[in-house]
Structure 1
Amino acid sequence: MSKEAKEQATARHARGAYFTPEPLAAFMAHWALEGHGTRILEPSCGEAQFLETAHKELAGTGASAQLVGYELHEPTVKQARVRLGAQGINAQIAQANFLS
């Protein structure tokens, strides 16, 4: 691991940011969305792994959903928007404290 990668990992952990592996996000999205809802809220979305996975899960069924995410860390909000936008996934990602 490069020095820069180690510093980024240290900074993420210092602010309590832990990223969910895609296979776990896929399992959880399938379980949570099976036959339910068209609105998805991720109150601490990070880089939008769950929102991306939920979109893919619903797209596989022909359904769509309103995707909304909140994240405190501004650079991570930007990364989430870029990640989803690059895939043509329409989501509202706000830099805010969901609990506020």
Structure 2
Amino acid sequence: MSNFAIFQTGGKQYRVQAGDVVKVEKLDAEGTVEFDQVLMIGDKIGTPFIDGAKVIATVVEQKRADKVLVFKKKRRQNYRRTRGHRQYITVVKITEIKD
């Protein structure tokens, strides 16, 4: 069994080990989640994914990320706009990495 893996979900890639807590894009799941798009486990590299490999995690909580402020301004026009956005995220704890 390897000590780390790289998997893909929500268009992003995450490097994890067993026991890590990771914030991923919103998942519609409760309990356990299996990520099967595994790109790398230890020194084994997929093309693009490793067949049969899984990263198993448990959902810790569903929440919203910190606010991101977007500020628009046009000089000498008295034009200023501020918008805020909070993305929905899922916090998962990695329990097992299967080859």
What TM-score range do you get, normalising by the shorter chain? under 0.3
Larger proportion of strand: 2
Larger radius of gyration: 2
Larger proportion of helix: 1
The structure with higher relative contact order (CA 8 Å, sep 6+) is: 2
